[in-house]
Chain A
Amino acid sequence: MNRRFLRQALPFLTLAVVLAATFYVQPRTMSYFGLNLMLQYAVPIALATIAQMFIITVNDLDLSIGPFVGLVSCVGATLLFENPALGVLVLLVLIAAYGAIGALIHLRNLPSIVVTLGLSFVWLGIAVMILPSPGGKAPDWLKALMTVQTPWVPFPIIAAIVIGVAVHLALMLSSYGVIARGAGGNPKALTRAGWSMLRTKVVMYMLAGLFGVLSGLALLGLTTSGDAHVADRYTLYSIAGVILGGGEFIGGRVSPLGAVVGALTLALAGSFLIFLKISPDWQIGAQGAILIIVLALRALVSYGEQKR
């Protein structure tokens, strides 16, 4: 079999294995209600993973996405609830801020890891200032959207498919998506062909900001109240999701469908470990073990490819 195909299929196989294992351990999850409950938190994780993927596409890394999602949830539970116009404006400013950070990183040739690590504290600080302790209220339309009962197929699955397919169309099939991925593959070639690397980076960072905002709102719709620390784990989840989904840290090799599947896998793995009655203290370690196994499998596939 074609190894490239095998590598692309690996995220889907991983999801299938984790899903099968969950069904085996807890057969009652094999229902509309069970899937809905297990996967609903996968939606904000998938959105954050897509945000991270845009940054990874241009060979950078965003260590601030978790606190950023937390900040959005605080803005949503306070400003957006009390004064929708002001709330929307603030969210737009946050997206613009992401674009400005992309420009700064490109123009000053700064390491994105350092800049975004610093920013993660800035986002957290602003969030705590807006909402010192967990509270506030989610707008009703958000709550309604996130708990909508779709017929036959649970909403989280539909949402995941819509997100994955939409981003796949934009990044993998559109003509501008080629430029964005090319910027990760060979920036010099792109500049020589007359494309602006600055513009490309700003666009990708703003897309990341947009998906960060969507992730924060989706999360708020589920939790119904804001909390600055609600998404602290998202930074690592999002990076792990991109990599689980077949993406690579450098070289513009990413897969939106894979990233969404990676996010679903991570969310499911959490439930699976709970069903196994593994103490929460061990869960992060167990999730890490899953990640290592998948990456080892991928390395094995790639190794065979090189040997060929």
Chain B
Amino acid sequence: MPQHAIRLDGVEKSFGAVRALAGVDLVVAAGECLGLVGHNGAGKSTLMHVLSGNLTPSAGMLSIAGVPHSGSWTAAAAQAQGVRCVFQELSLCPNLTVAENVRIVHRSLKGFGWKPRARALISAKLDEIFPDHGIGPDDEIADLAIGQRQMAEIARAFTVTEGALRLVILDEPTSSLDAVTAQQLLAYVKKETARGTAIILISHLLGEILSTTDRIVVMKDGKTVADRKAAEFTRNSLVSAMGSEAREHTRGAAKNATGEVMVSAQPRSGGTASLQARRGEIIGLTGLAGHGQTRMLLQIYERRQAEVKGALAFIAGDRQSDGVFNLWSIGRNITTRSLAALRKGGFIDLGAEEKLAEAWKQRMAIRTPDVDNNILTLSGGNQQKALFARALASDAAIILMDDPMRGVDIGTKQEVYAMIRAEAEKGRTFIWYTTEIEELTHCDRAYVFRDGAIVASLGADELTEERVLQASFAEHAA
């Protein structure tokens, strides 16, 4: 058996009640390039953070070159053992130069003359991976373009001072690179594995995964569900491995598409396809997280290059930062979107406000004895119900939802789904960004986003997990 670079046995990680990793076994051999794919929430990023020492697993064993490290695996230990990670959101300090950022990951770069050594180290690696990169070692990161920053971070991960480089994890490394530099990187990955370094490549570009890696592991619901040689996969078999058996549709026949068009907008972030929502429709926005869905909602909300007929309301998914007013009562949180309608002679009609809050507490079945209690006395799910009540109680004809079911329990979800359905029948239009493919079964139509553009429009009868995955994962970088 060839020596392994890193080995995981039954690694689990839970965040509260959510099990992000449900017992992962993974072996990466020295000199192997492993592809890791999976849909949103499959556990890829949690696994990466465990490997890089930034998250301590709740259970299981992690061993490096045969030595177990389960309890003492920290970010510092990972660095010392030659395990590096290029995270999707950049891990460079914008106020420092390229050379200074190299110093941060190399403890041995110190003492007299550390800076010339750091400069030489990063310049040589940049030249090796990305010829013609145009990055100076004394350039401040904040002055570099986003693609150059990514190049600098990738090159930094491959620099070696003391201790061998064992494993490099690349999370969507080509997301900000153009086609030429992406090819340079993938060529370098092969060269580096030939030297004995193990590499884990995470990407939504399946062509990239299939052409570069030796072996592909598919993750789903916190577990590895497929683990085979890359040559044995095709694009289609990879997509079907990520998905699951077809689910039963809860939606009735597709609505006849004759209603009045309420929203019509083309994403500013890319593509030529545009979105349309008619009166009474529930439109889903899907695709991998962070590919322009929230930006689309904001673009509609701000009515920038979007034709919108009627008032809008927005339901935030990130309750704590965008949703609730922490210091206010439940009632105030519900009525804040409707204050204009509750005015009487320039003042808020307190009686009417109270009545509105009470009515929506009943309709949404918010579990509280008194709407005058502080919003934080509610559970997360009930807080989210209050945010739904805020939007539904308003005069809005179009309701935008930014993945509103994050961290909401299944019972509450069912109640809210029914409510959305009922409101849509009454003629309200919903535009619903969701990261959960099951929720699309409640939609009349869905748009799949990739790299900021709409890449597919699926009707209710086509809304299968497989179709969504097919569209979400591109063949090659544009």
Contact = CB atoms under 8 A, between A and B. Distances in A.
B91 A188 contact: yes
A73 to B, nearest CB: 34
B78 A194 contact: yes
Nearest to B85: A192
Contacts of A4: 140, 143
Contacts of A189: 90-93, 104
Contacts of A185: 93-96
Nearest to A194: B76
B54 A190 contact: no
Contacts of B91: 186, 188-189, 192-193
B281 interface: no
A181 B93 contact: yes
A106 interface: no
A190 B93 contact: yes
B393 interface: no
A175 to B, nearest CB: 4
Interface string B59-98: 0000000000000001111111000010100111111100
Given A175-B109, A175-B111, A178-B100, A193 B79 contact: yes
Interface in B90-126: 90-96, 100-101, 103-105, 109-111, 114-115
Contacts of A176: 110
Interface string A100-142: 0000000000000000000000000000000000000000000
B280 interface: no
A275 interface: no
Nearest to A57: B95
Nearest to A187: B93
A207 B401 CA distance: 49
Contact of B104 (A193, A251, A253): A193
Contact of A192 (B75, B101, B143): B75
Given A192-B87, A194-B53, A195-B104, A175 B114 contact: yes
Interface string B250-267: 000000000000000000
A253 B74 CA distance: 29
Contacts of B111: 175
Contacts of B140: 4
Contact of B96 (A182, A192, A195): A182
Interface in A141-185: 173, 175-176, 178-179, 181-182, 184-185
Interface in A192-224: 192-195
Nearest to A176: B110
A185 B77 CA distance: 23
A176 B95 CA distance: 15
A252 interface: yes
B52 interface: yes
Given A173-B115, A175-B110, A178-B104, A192 B94 contact: no
Given A181-B96, A182-B100, A185-B96, A194 B110 contact: no
A26 interface: no
Nearest to B79: A194
A178 B101 CA distance: 8
A186 B52 contact: no
Nearest to B141: A185
Interface in A214-265: 251-253
B64 to A, nearest CB: 15
A191 interface: yes
B53 A186 contact: no
B95 A194 contact: no
Contacts of B53: 194
A194 B108 CA distance: 13
Nearest to A250: B95
B73 to A, nearest CB: 11
Contact of B103 (A178, A186, A192, A253): A178
Contacts of B85: 192
Nearest to B95: A185
A238 B77 CA distance: 40
A118 B52 CA distance: 40
A190 B143 CA distance: 20
B325 to A, nearest CB: 20
A192 B78 CA distance: 10
Nearest to A253: B95
B110 A193 contact: no
A97 B96 CA distance: 30
A301 B104 CA distance: 30
A194 B106 CA distance: 10
A54 to B, nearest CB: 15
Contact of B94 (A186, A190, A193): A186
A104 B103 CA distance: 28
Interface in B415-443: none
Nearest to B108: A175
A190 B85 CA distance: 13
Contacts of A194: 53, 74-80
B52 A181 contact: no
Contacts of A191: 54, 75
A175 B114 CA distance: 7
B458 to A, nearest CB: 37
Given A189-B92, A192-B87, 15 more contacts: A4-B140, A178-B96, A178-B103, A181-B93, A182-B96, A186-B93, A189-B90, A190-B93, A191-B54, A192-B52, A192-B91, A193-B105, A194-B53, A194-B78, A194-B80
6 contacts: A173-B115, A175-B110, A185-B93, A186-B93, A193-B91, A253-B95
10 pairs of A and B residues whose beta carbons are closest in the complex: A194-B76, A185-B93, A185-B95, A175-B110, A189-B91, A194-B75, A182-B93, A186-B93, A194-B79, A252-B95
Interface of B: 52-54, 74-80, 85, 87, 90-96, 100-101, 103-105, 109-111, 114-115, 140, 143
